[in-house]
């Protein structure tokens, strides 16, 4: 499985597996089935439950099409809205454990999702052949919308162990030091631990220092360097987060 190195805001490269064409197609099919189900339900409600079919009587062809367009409008904006709300995922992508990310390491914006959505019209041309060919021939399995928006779809099904997650082994008698860590999110802690682990492997003291300063700034902490080194501080922060959020083994 091919990988992509995404440069984080702390200037650390983290490797992710690129989502395969098959995974993306299955996610698309799941989302397509959801949209089809929506259309069937909304039309059933319109014609059978609320018996509003008479509203179409006497309307010309364009007006009828306009009514159907209004009823089915959520289907067309489905990927744009859900990827924006679910941070790069739709129900199909979530089930397949894949996600849209920016290649430059930043969080994809609404504009990025919009570009992907607009180019979807081209990508699904000729029964989806255009998008399929683009994914096959491009370096990172990108369809035209991904290339235009600078995004890629990664797999979240990496083989990981405890050292790659926010989980830490914490003894029952562990005493936390910084209750302020509850202000952090799971995603914040994953980024902290991923970058810290990466920096430790190559002994990158500059990254460790920047990471430590960033945490102190966010949590508004002042630490005496003579009592706790930057590495000790980050280790305590990770353990404290697991302690307060109950994410211990």
152: phi then psi, degrees, rounded to nearest 5: -145, 160
The model's pTM is 0.65
| Separation of alpha carbons 74 and 72, rounded Å | 6
The reported pLDDT for the residue numbered 168 is: 63
pLDDT digits (tens, 9 = 90+) for 17-64: 899 999 999 999 999 999 999 999 999 999 999 999 999 998 999 999
Task: Calculate the CA 15 to chain-centre distance.
Answer: 15
Instruction: Give the rounded percent of residues in the chain with a pLDDT score beyond 90.
Output: 57
CB 236 within 8 A of CB 189: no
pLDDT digits (tens, 9 = 90+) for 79-102: 999 999 998 999 999 999 899 988
């Amino acid at each position: 499985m091919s990988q992509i190195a995404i440069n984080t805001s702390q200037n650390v490269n983290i490797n992710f597996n690129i989502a395969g064409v098959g995974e993306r197609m299955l996610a698309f099919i799941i989302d397509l089935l959801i949209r089809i189900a929506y259309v069937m339900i909304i039309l059933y409600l319109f014609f059978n439950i609320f018996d509003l079919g008479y509203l179409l009587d006497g309307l010309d062809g364009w007006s009828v099409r306009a009514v159907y367009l209004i009823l089915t409008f959520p289907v067309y904006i489905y990927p744009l809205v859900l990827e924006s709300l679910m941070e790069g995922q739709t129900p199909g992508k979530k089930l397949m454990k894949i996600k849209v990310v920016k290649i430059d390491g930043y969080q994809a914006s609404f504009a990025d999702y919009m570009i992907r959505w607009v180019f979807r019209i081209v990508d699904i041309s000729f029964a989806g052949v255009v998008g399929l060919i683009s994914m096959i021939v491009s370096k990172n399995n990108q369809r035209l919308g991904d290339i235009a928006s600078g995004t890629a779809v990664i797999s979240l099904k990496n083989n990981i162990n405890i050292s790659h997650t926010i989980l830490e082994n914490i003894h029952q008698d562990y005493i936390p030091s910084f209750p302020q860590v509850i202000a952090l999110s799971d995603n914040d802690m994953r980024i902290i631990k991923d970058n810290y682990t990466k920096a430790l492997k190559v002994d990158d003291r500059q990254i460790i220092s920047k990471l430590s300063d960033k945490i102190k700034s966010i949590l508004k902490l002042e630490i005496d360097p003579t009592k706790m080194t930057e590495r000790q501080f980050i280790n305590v922060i990770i353990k404290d987060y697991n302690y307060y959020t109950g994410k211990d083994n």
